[in-house]
Amino acid sequence: FPNDTELMASFLKIILYVYTDNVLQAELGSKLESAFMTGLRFTDPHLRSKFTEVLKQNVSSDMFERLEALISPHNFNWKLIGPHFWIKQFIEMLLTVNDGQK
């Protein structure tokens, strides 16, 4: 639905619901990874930030563990958003660790 922002937003809200429910995420998470990655680059900043928050919750707050998780092909398939500027999301996820950690 690339040309219908409202329909895409509704679809991504369903995807977000799946990823915030532990049972649904366990069952469907890997099948919906492409849609989740689409949510990370969606044009609506409010909805996009919700996807970012879900991602942050599932990645360690330790800088080195976070880097390892983000570059591991078993955790994130950045190719799913390949033609888009995914490096922005990658860097944001890497640098958003707990404020108290040095």
Token digits for 29?
């998470």
In eight-state DSSP terms, residue 43 is: S
* Cβ-proximal residues to 77 (8 Å cutoff; 6+ apart), any chain: 33, 37
Asked if 93 and 53 count as a contact pair (C-beta separation under 8 A), the reply is no
Give pLDDT tens digits for 43-62.
899 998 898 888 888 777 78
- Residue 23: left (phi > 0), alpha (psi -120 to 50), or beta? alpha
Give pLDDT tens digits for 58-90.
777 788 888 887 777 777 676 766 667 777 777
